[in-house]
A = this chain, B = another copy of it.
Amino acid sequence: MHAPFELAEIAADVLARIRDCGPRVHCVTNPVAQQYTANMLLAAGALPSMTISPEEIGAFVASADAILVNLGTFDIERRSAIEVAVAPAAERRLPWLIDPVFIDRSPARARFSRSLLERWPSVLRLNHAQFQALSGQGADAGAAARFAQACATIVAMTGDIDVVTDGERNSAIANGDPLMSLVTAMGCAGSALVCAALAVETDAWMAALAALAAFGVAGEIAAQRVQGPGSFAAAMIDALHGIDRGTLRARVKAS
Contact = CB atoms under 8 A, between A and B. Distances in A.
Contacts of A227: 225, 235, 238, 242
Contacts of A30: 50
A255 interface: no
Given A32-B50, A73-B53, A229-B43, A60 B242 contact: no
Contacts of A226: 238
Given A59-B107, A63-B105, A230-B241, A184 B38 contact: yes
| Size category, A interface | 35 or more
Given A42-B183, A229-B238, A75 B53 contact: yes
Report copies per complex: 3
Contacts of A49: 102, 105
Interface in A84-142: 102, 105-109
A203 interface: no
A224 to B, nearest CB: 12
A182 B42 contact: yes
B55 A108 contact: yes
A230 B56 CA distance: 29
Interface in A198-255: 225-231, 233-239, 241-242
Interface of A: 30-36, 38-39, 42-43, 48-53, 55-56, 59-60, 63, 72-77, 102, 105-109, 181-185, 225-231, 233-239, 241-242
